[in-house]
Amino acid sequence: MRNKYDFAYACSVCLGNKDFVKEFNRLTGHKLGVPRTPIEKMIDEACGRDPDAKAMPDFVNLVYELVWSTLPDEAFVDEMT
């Protein structure tokens, strides 16, 4: 049983970890969270391209495989009981 620590929270924590995101980008070739120049942003917006949205499915899969699925059972104990 999970309380406040769920998969979305785990993804949020990983997304907030600059080193984790940097290694994700290195391993996958994505550019998640990498700043773009104003002209790059305008071109992406005009073309309907969002590089961060494209990277998210791979990021979520990596968090699941490397973080979430390796957590011990104790991590899922309901703190309310």
**The model scores a pTM over 0.75:** yes
Assess contact for 21 and 51: CB atoms under 8 A: no
Assess contact for 51 and 31: CB atoms under 8 A: yes
* Structure confidence by residue, pLDDT tens digits, 22-65: 999 999 999 999 999 999 999 999 999 888 899 999 999 999 99
Q: At a CB cut-off of 8 Å and minimum separation 6, what does 49 contact?
A: 43
- What element of type H or E holds 51? helix 51-66
At residue 5, does pLDDT exceed 90?
no
pLDDT, average across residues 67-71: 90
At residue 67, does pLDDT exceed 90?
yes
- Predicted pLDDT at 77: 66
Q: Residue 75's pLDDT band (boundaries 50, 70, 90)?
A: confident
